[in-house]
Structure 1
Amino acid sequence: MRRLLRSKIALALFLMLLVLTFGIVGYKSLSDFTWIEAIYMTIITVTTVGFSEVRPLDPSAKIFTVFLIVTSVFIFGFALSVITEYLLERNSLKVLKKKKVKKRIDNLSDHIVVCGYGRNGMQAAERLKEYKRPFVIIEKDKEVIEHHEEEVLFVEGDANEDDVLIKAGIEKARYLITALPDDAENLFIVLSARQLNKKLFIISRASQVTTQSKLELAGADKVIMPDKIGGDHMASLVVMPDLITFMDKLSMEGEHTTNLEEVEIEDFTQLVDCKSIRDLDLRRQTGCTIIGYIEPNGNYIINPEADLELQPKGKVIVLGRPEQIRKLNEMFQIG
């Protein structure tokens, strides 16, 4: 539809240019006007403004003028209707698109709200897409939204405002990631989000070390400092390069990289009667290796023993190649 309207607009502009050229050349040849006079006569004729002629017209010039007026009225009328239709259609599409986005957001639950679509926000969104986790981006830059609106769900506005957070479904969300470059803005977002949803798990970015404790006091569950992480990573590459390179390869993306997976014990117990890690027997069935266990109280156990008793709310951290992780997911219908 939009392509058809654009072709109509191109045709209308071509016809308008054609009638102007026709008028200028006609007056120049029929009445021996100068180019300036021909342009002037053409403009006042096709626009029907009613100004007087440059000089008296002979019968042939008058007939030409009548023909030019009739032709220009139809062509300019056609152009006006096409442009009006295009503007109305464009506005209608925007309204329909906003309604569609709003409906999709209203149907979400246990999703992730990401505040800011800058460098960190975009990286978070890319990773969430890889995991096929539903999320909504809050962004106030219209140009950014228009450039990426086909890829993700956007809510336009300032994330500091409660109404904008509510539009993003903060009351039904499970996680909030606030990745704005300004620590003060992140602090206000954390405060607002915590008031709107007490059960929300909040992850906030911080630039200053002094802000970390304030964000945690405001309600952030985790505070991430990208600059500190980047510096630590670079220094570690100097101290123990092979180990860090190996850790980098424990990536969760790509077809040829090793993967880590977090799995809840309940996903296993629905299909397998297991009381310990030994009972799961994941190494033989899938090739995956359990390298960690998270107790229901949040305590982490690295390299747990095979006879470790599993608890219903616990989780296991599994290491495996992509095909092994896929086999695990298919066998136990995880994810």
Structure 2
Amino acid sequence: MDKNLVKLVRAFLLLVLSLAIGIIGYMIIEGYSFVNAVYMSVITISTVGYGEVEPLSKSGKLFTSTYIIVNLGIFAYVVSIFTTYLLEGELRVIFRNFIQGREVKQLRNHTIVCGYGRNGSKACEQLIKEKREFVLIDNNEELLQHFKNNGKFQSLVGDATADEVLKDAGIEKASSIITTLPSDAQNVFIALTARELNHDIKIIARASDQNSEKKLYRAGATHVVMPDALGGMHMAQLIAKPYVIEFLELLNGVGGENVVLDEFSFDQLQEKYHQKSLAQLDIRKNTGVTVIGLKEQNKGFLFNPHPETTVNHGDVLIILGAQENIDSFKKQYST
């Protein structure tokens, strides 16, 4: 349950408990009827100052005095909680979290991103760019305020290493999870938990240390990314192969050119294009898109595949072209 809602429920239950004690006390000590006991308890809790429904005995007066003193604190606490929720927008937050929880439960084959730090925020940006559904988890509520303004995607405040939080994010129905926490130990723990809760999920994990990389793979990670190592390699390649890196940056959207590298599976092809060779598909002539690679189900990757190569079930095309050409390809060949 949302921690903000817990406070509200706790205050309400405390008020109900106090009322129940008063009703039982007046019925036992003074012999009041249920209605009179409820009335006496309410006016005592609220300190409105009405007179007793019936004269009180000495025991009744002692009980009422103690009851008033105790309820001064309870009533002040309850009023402060309800005032906070009404005036500071807590009810709106609870309602929004409730709606988000319902929307998360409806997600299927989505991605879960753990941590909204340097790597996590970039992962979210790319997922938004690719129009992929995802749920972001972070324990810093203030950090998520900016992200929450985007109603198209969901976020949860909590510890991503906790089973319940991952379940709230729909781990059983997710297709992939990206864990980018700064602690390698936490990423290992999340990988273990995610693999246990969903045997088929794809796990992308961040690692700082090479020893952690091995542990993450043993924990069930599908891919392990080491940002520091990749950054050093990238800087060295800028000296050794600057134009190759410049071209790769264009593919990653760093440059201003509208060049896109995409993938397209056999299952996405229209049935009339099944079991056709690349020459028969004639993709470049029809759309301007270039097939630069093909991932065969059994043999692996083929770079610059031969025109007579047949696209079979389980194969994936790696295509390159301007965004408008990619859109044209999908419009013509996609199911």
Which TM-score applies when normalising by structure 1?
0.72
Q: Say yes or no: does 1:258 pair with 2:286.
A: no
SS at match of 1:216: helix
Runs of 4 or more above 3 Å deviation: 83-86, 252-256
Counterpart Cα distance in 1 of 2:299 and 2:161: 31
The structure with more radius of gyration: 1
Give the deviation of 1:243 after TM superposition. Answer: 1.5
Q: Is the 8 A contact 2:250 2:256 kept in 1?
A: no
Deviation track 1:295-315 (CA, whole Å, cap 9, x = no partner) reads: 124711111111112211110
Counterpart Cα distance in 2 of 1:84 and 1:273: 65
Over 3 Å counting, the alpha-carbon distance change for 1:85 and 1:179 in structure 2 is closer
Tell me the equivalent position of 1:180: 181
Give the deviation of 1:274 after TM superposition. Answer: 4.2
Give the deviation of 1:194 after TM superposition. Answer: 0.4
Counterpart Cα distance in 1 of 2:212 and 2:112: 22
SS at match of 2:238: helix
Tell me the equivalent position of 2:123: 124
Q: Is the 8 A contact 2:274 2:311 kept in 1?
A: no
Q: Is the 8 A contact 1:260 1:319 kept in 2?
A: yes
Q: Is the 8 A contact 2:274 2:312 kept in 1?
A: no
SS at match of 1:262: strand
Q: Say yes or no: does 1:232 pair with 2:266.
A: no
Q: Is the 8 A contact 1:251 1:257 kept in 2?
A: no
Tell me the equivalent position of 1:268: 269
Counterpart Cα distance in 2 of 1:96 and 1:255: 42
Q: Say yes or no: does 1:317 pair with 2:318.
A: yes
RMSD: 2.2
Deviation track 1:275-296 (CA, whole Å, cap 9, x = no partner) reads: 2111211001100010000112
Deviation track 1:182-223 (CA, whole Å, cap 9, x = no partner) reads: 100000000000000000000000000111111000000100
Tell me the equivalent position of 1:102: 101
Tell me the equivalent position of 1:210: 211
Over 3 Å counting, the alpha-carbon distance change for 1:164 and 1:85 in structure 2 is closer
Counterpart Cα distance in 2 of 1:307 and 1:318: 17
Aligned length: 254
Q: Say yes or no: does 1:149 pair with 2:148.
A: yes
Which structure 2 segments of 5+ residues have no match?
Answer: 1-78
Tell me the equivalent position of 1:168: 169
Q: Is the 8 A contact 2:176 2:202 kept in 1?
A: yes
SS at match of 1:129: helix
Counterpart Cα distance in 1 of 2:142 and 2:295: 43
Tell me the equivalent position of 2:37: none
Deviation track 1:152-175 (CA, whole Å, cap 9, x = no partner) reads: 411111111100000000000000
Counterpart Cα distance in 1 of 2:170 and 2:246: 39
SS at match of 2:216: helix
Q: Is the 8 A contact 2:139 2:158 kept in 1?
A: yes
**Which residue identity is paired with 2:260?**
N
Which TM-score applies when normalising by structure 2?
0.72
